[in-house]
């Protein structure tokens, strides 16, 4: 982010004037997407923003607009994003035109959410997934981006058999390679679960088995509530079990009050700090969209996974 970070050190690199590589057709320069942009992208078509635009007379509108809809957050892409190349290309293109850094989530692996069950689905076959993730990476191309690859995919192993795990590792390894080969100005982070799910040494093994060596780093706490301090401690522990430490990012979208007694729309959670570099990790990001339901559960009973609820949003704003 040039307006904050010029002359400072981020991700081990001295930041200076942003390179124009992503602006030229056919540019192949590998760059730091933070250097190449002037801040995080605010999605004007996020679920919270769409709700604000469609409900001008709702009494909750101002709070949701000010606290959520105007903040940088990730856009999730899955089997609802058709065609995937067009959907991704439009999103990263708009961010690039604004000189901002977009955050994207690839969420379409077959057998998705094997343990949670509320967000099941994904591409029908491994072959279909490989085509989908290839087209995703091609659409990012040379433009700067942050991409989180397949939340929950390495935490779900307890709900899968050995053949399914091997198959999934193959798909994740392929996905990581696509971004390395085809999106040189994107940082791809392989999802690494959260501080309360899988022991750090076990997660390190799983990340290695899923191709972490070719990813920029790993992502933690996606759609969960553990505090930044707890998550940074967990990330450092994971790194202590890797042969070569990797950068990691933390989802802070709902961790303002820490974790509750459940992962699925629990009460009493609160918005965390907005997107920034540093903070104990490489970046703190809103990866889960605040106000989007985890599923038909908790205080979101009756609200399907991924559906925005102004009531859930207000709970997060108020910490209730």
Contact between 14 and 126 under an 8 Å Cβ cutoff? The reply is: no
Q: Chain-centre distance of CA 50, in angstroms?
A: 20
According to DSSP, residue 101 is labeled B
How far apart (Å, rounded) are the C-alpha atoms in residues 80 and 320? 31
Q: Write down the pLDDT at residue 23.
A: 43
Binding site, annotated residues for substrate: 76, 197, 224, 263, 288
Cα distance between residue 32 and residue 221, in whole Å: 23
Distance from C-alpha of 162 to C-alpha of 158, rounded to nearest angstrom = 10
In the chain, domain spans: 2-22+31-318
Catalytic residues: 152, 294
Token output for 176: 């990581």
The domain at 2-22+31-318 falls in which architecture? Alpha-Beta Barrel (3.20)
CA atoms in the 13 A half-sphere facing the CB of 176? 21
What pLDDT score does 120 carry? 80
Q: Is 135 helix (H, G, I), strand (E, B) or coil?
A: helix
Residue whose tokens read 């390679």? 177
**What residues are designated binding site?**
76, 197, 224, 263, 288
CA count, 13 A, side-chain hemisphere, 197: 30
Radius of gyration of the chain (CA): 18
What does the alpha-carbon distance between residue 128 and residue 258 come to, in Å, rounded to a whole number?
38
Tell me the pLDDT of the chain (320 aa) as tens digits.
Answer: 323 232 333 333 333 333 334 444 333 347 999 999 999 999 999 999 999 999 999 999 999 999 999 999 999 999 999 999 999 999 999 999 999 999 999 999 999 988 887 888 899 999 999 999 999 999 999 999 999 999 999 999 999 999 999 999 999 999 999 999 999 999 999 999 999 999 999 999 999 999 999 999 999 999 999 999 999 999 999 999 999 999 999 999 999 999 988 999 999 999 999 999 999 999 999 999 999 999 999 999 999 999 999 999 999 999 99
């Amino acid at each position: 982010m040039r307006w904050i970070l010029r002359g400072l050190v981020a991700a081990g690199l001295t930041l200076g004037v942003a390179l124009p590589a992503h602006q030229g057709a056919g540019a192949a320069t590998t760059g730091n997407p933070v250097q190449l942009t002037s801040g995080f992208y605010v999605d004007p078509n996020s679920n919270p923003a769409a709700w604000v635009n469609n409900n001008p007379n709702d009494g909750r509108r101002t709070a949701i607009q000010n606290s959520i809809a105007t903040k940088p957050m990730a856009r999730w892409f899955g089997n609802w994003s058709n065609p995937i190349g067009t959907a991704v290309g439009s999103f990263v293109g708009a961010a690039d035109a604004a000189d901002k850094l977009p955050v994207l989530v690839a969420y379409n692996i077959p057998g998705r959410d094997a343990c949670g069950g509320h967000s099941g689905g994904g591409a029908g076959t491994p072959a279909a997934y490989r085509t989908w993730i290839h087209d995703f990476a091609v659409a990012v191309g040379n433009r700067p981006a942050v991409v989180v690859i397949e939340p929950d995919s390495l935490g779900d192993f307890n709900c899968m058999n050995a053949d399914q795990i091997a198959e999934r590792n193959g798909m994740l390894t392929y996905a990581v390679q696509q971004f390395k080969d085809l999106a040189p100005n994107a940082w791809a982070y392989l999802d690494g679960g959260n501080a309360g799910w899988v022991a750090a040494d076990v997660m390190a093994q799983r990340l290695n088995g899923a191709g972490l060596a070719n990813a920029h780093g790993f992502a933690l706490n996606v759609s969960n509530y553990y505090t930044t301090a707890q998550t940074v401690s967990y990330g450092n522990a994971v790194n202590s079990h890797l042969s070569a430490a990797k950068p990691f990012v933390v989802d802070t979208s709902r961790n303002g009050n820490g974790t509750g007694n459940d992962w699925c729309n629990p009460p009493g959670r609160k918005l965390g700090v907005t997107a920034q570099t540093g903070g104990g990790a490489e970046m703190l990001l809103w990866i889960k969209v605040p106000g989007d339901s985890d599923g038909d559960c908790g205080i979101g009973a009756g609200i399907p996974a991924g559906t925005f609820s102004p009531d859930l949003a207000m709970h997060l704003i108020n910490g209730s």
